[in-house]
Structures are given as C-alpha cells and as structure tokens.
Amino acid sequence: MSRENVLSLLLERPTEYLSGEAMSRALGISRAGVWKAIEALRQEGYEISSAPNRGYRLESAPDRVREGELAGPLAGCLVGGSLACLDTIDSTNTECKRRAMAGTPEGLVVIAEEQTGGRGRLGRSFQSPRGCGLYLSALLRPRLEPAAVTDFTAWVAVAVCDGIEAACGVRPRIKWTNDIVLNGKKLCGILTELGLESESNALEYLVPGIGINVNHRPEDFSEDVRPMATSLAQELGRPVRRSLLAAEVIKALDRMYAVFPQGKQEYLDKYRADCLTPGNQVQLITPASRQEARALAIDDDFRLVVELADGTRKALSAGEVSVRGMYGYV
Ligand code: BTN
C-alpha cells in the first residue's frame, strides 16, 4: 500500500522533487520504506529520477490503472471512495457482486487490467484483452425499490459519455438502450446487475459494469466483433491514458449517483441529445422474432417509442428487446 501512497504523492506534484524525508513524514513510514516503494515502482516501469539533497521526481509512468493514480483525482467521491485495481479477474461485475454479498459498503469500484470471463448483456461474452481497455464495475446500495432503478443503465450511459468527453474531448453517442458508439461503431458496453434480498425482495446492491475499448487495435478484436467495434485510440489516432479516463468516468458516475433519481430531467435531456436511435429504421430482436420498425423518440421513462409497419406505436423497455440498425450496427 505504501507503494500506492508514494505514487500518489509523486503524481500530486509532477514537476517537483519530493524529498524522501517529506514523503516519509507525510505517509508515516520510514525513509527506507519510501526508498523500497520507489524501487518497486521503478521495477514496474515508472521512471523516477533522484537528485542529491532534492529527492525524487516522477518522469514517466506506464499505462496502468492503479489505486495510486486514482486516489488523488477521486478524493471526496463516494463512488470510487474505495478501489480494487486488480491484474486479472473473471469479471469485475462478478467480483463486485461477490464483495457485495460479503458485506462491502457502497462506493467500491473494481477495475481489472484483464477479464478472463467478461460478461455482456443477454448472456453474451465481452472481450477484455489485457491492458487495452477499461473494465470497471461499481458497487452501489441505493435505498430504493427495485422498480425505481429500471432506467439506471441509461443514466450510466450518459455518465460514461460525460467521462469520455472530459478525458478525450470527444462526446460519443448512445445506441438505445446502452451501447456507447463513436463514428458508427461500438466503443463501450454497459451491464447493470442487481441483487435482491431473498425474503423481502428489497434491493440489496446494484452493480453497473462498464467496458470501454480504449487502446485496442483492430486485431485485438475477434473477427466477428471487429466490423462493428472500435476503440478511442483508433478514432482519435493516438493512445489514451487509461488511468485518466478511469478517473473521469468514475467522477462522472459519482456526480450522477449523487442526483439519482431526483435529477432525472437533466439526465433524460442529455440521454435524448446523445441517443442516435430515434429517426432510424430498426430491427426489434427478441429470442423468438425479428420485426422491422421506425424508432421515433425516447419517452419520459427512457423507453424507445417505435412505430411498427402496421402503424401501431409502442414504447419498449430495456431488456424487452434489442435493437439493431437496418443498414449497419447503429
Ligand atoms: C454489453 O455490451 O453487452 C455489455 C458489456 C459490459 C462489459 C463490462 S466490462 C466490466 C464489467 N464486467 C463484466 O463482466 N462486464 C462489464
């Protein structure tokens, strides 16, 4: 842990030298402990220069998402107030749910460099190659009825767009219900899961999981996914620092959760502005059928209003149906 704290201090003052003594005082550890932490960070690829009588300065840092990089930017946040940055895990959602069932309080964010069993909606898998993406899940415990959180994923989608815009300067769009797209291709998927108390059916925990394609090259996607998937690096033409993106996405989630559900109008307005499904001809896909329809609007409950070929209109809820563009993924 002192390694994360030393890193956090170095990151707080990126242009300054920090003496070993000042760090040892600030962290309540010995100077030998500071030195050991510096050596361990160097072993992990952090370039830290040292100058006699001045101390240490961080010159460059590898692209790794870790507590020491996030603790400073997330100070004061409820979501991200505690962090578990893991190397490899089956699924950050599954890990968050395990910790929820063990009694961990809300606010924990689990992040992994790699998922071996990343999960998507409708039982699909989510490809999560090492070091390319941002795979994160948050543990929340809103004091609400389960029915009050049915639109939560739509709120998360808006927060993810906010976070990506803050970190990268581009605002992606939303394909109803909760795929984040950039230039017509899928950039991010969201899977929200919840746990109910078995006897009372009260909401015990809510776990939104977010998978963003960050530095993937086309060959990092499997052949079947490649035609409709993209990454921030592919679209921006430059790599994106994942810890910076993680900090902005978590801060946006924290801002959103602070106003959930009473701040609905703001998030509904943003969702409507971001969602590019209305106006398109779409296929409505259920396990049993495919039907053509025209997407018209997002209603006040984040449902997609569609008009069927016979002129009838209906409002679709997330989970009821999945929507695909007629002429491409969007
Ligand atoms: C989808 O597009 O169907 C949703 C994909 C959600 C993927 C994220 S990655 C982090 C979290 N852990 C998982 O196993 N899934 C979500």
Q: Which domains does the chain have, with CATH numbers?
A: 2-60 (1.10.10.10), 67-274 (3.30.930.10), 281-323 (2.30.30.100)
Q: What is the DSSP code (8-state) at residue 303?
A: P
Dihedral pair phi/psi, residue 180, rounded to 5°? -95, 130
Joined together, the tokens standing for residue 100 give: 């929820």
Structure tokens at 74: 């997330």
Per residue in 145-174, pLDDT (tens digit) is 999 999 999 999 999 999 999 999 999 999
Ligand 1 pocket mutation pick from 65, 85, 93, 136 by most atoms within 8 angstroms of CB: 93
CB 302 within 8 A of CB 293: no
For residue 213, the CA-to-ligand 1 centroid distance in Å is 11
Q: Tell me the pLDDT tens digit for each residue of 107-152.
A: 999 999 999 999 999 889 999 999 999 999 999 999 999 999 999 9
287 — pLDDT class (breaks 50, 70, 90): confident
Average pLDDT along the chain? 95
Alpha helix locations (H) across 71-186? 92-101, 152-168
For the segment 266-281, the average pLDDT, to the nearest whole number, is: 96
User: Over the stretch 170-223, which tens digit does the pLDDT of each residue have?
Assistant: 999 999 989 999 999 999 999 999 999 988 999 999 999 999 999 999 999 999
Q: State the number of CA atoms in the 13 A half-sphere of 241 facing the CB.
A: 12
CA of 323 to the centre of ligand 1 (A): 18
Taking each helix axis as running N to C, give the angle between helix 2-12 and helix 31-43, from 0 to 180 degrees, rounded to the nearest 10: 80
Q: Specify the pLDDT at position 69.
A: 93
Q: Which atom of ligand 1 is nearest to the CA of 112?
A: 10
Q: Check pocket membership of 133 for ligand 1, CB cut-off 6 A.
A: no
Does residue 93's CB lie within 6 angstroms of at least one atom of ligand 1?
yes
Closest CA to 34 of 65, 72, 8, 64: 8
CA of 117 to the centre of ligand 1 (A): 10
- Grouping H, G, I as helix, E, B as strand and the rest as coil, residue 147 is helix
Residue 283: exposure state from Cβ atoms within 10 A (0-12, 13-18, ≥19): middle
Q: Read off the pLDDT band of 11 (50, 70, 90).
A: very high
Quote the ligand 1 centre to 93 CA distance (angstroms). Answer: 8
Partner residues linked to 135 by β-bridges: 112, 211
| pLDDT-based confidence at residue 14 (cuts at 50, 70, 90) | confident
Q: Is 278 in the pocket of ligand 1 (CB under 6 A)?
A: no
Q: What pLDDT is attached to residue 27? A: 94
> Cα separation of 108 and 98, whole Å?
12
Model confidence at 76: pLDDT above 90: yes
The pLDDT value given to residue 324: 83
Going by their DSSP bridges, the two strands 179-182 and 290-298 should be labelled as unpaired
Query: In this prediction, what percent of the chain has a pLDDT beyond 90?
Result: 89
**Cis omega (within 30 of 0) for bond into 261:** yes
Angle, CA 214 vertex, CA 167 and CA 58 arms, to 5°: 60
Strand spans (E) along 122-259: 133-138, 173-175, 179-182, 185-196, 203-213
pLDDT at 328: 77
- How do the residues of the chain divide into helix, strand and coil, expressed in percent and rounded to 5? 35, 30, 35
pLDDT confidence tier of residue 2, bands split at 50, 70 and 90 = confident
Q: What are the phi and psi torsion angles at 211 (to 5°)?
A: -125, 110
Q: What's the pTM?
A: 0.93
pLDDT exceeding 70 applies to what percent of the chain? 99
Q: With 80 as the cut, is the pLDDT of residue 235 above it?
A: yes
Q: What is the pLDDT of residues 239-248, one digit of tens each?
A: 999 999 999 9
Report whether residue 121 contacts ligand 1, using a CB cutoff of 6 Å. Answer: yes
Give the residue from 191, 151, 158, 163 showing the smallest Cα distance to 174: 158
Please list the alpha-helical segments (H only) found in 28-187. 31-43, 67-70, 92-101, 152-168
Q: What is the pLDDT of residue 158?
A: 98
73 lines ligand 1 (CB under 6 A): no
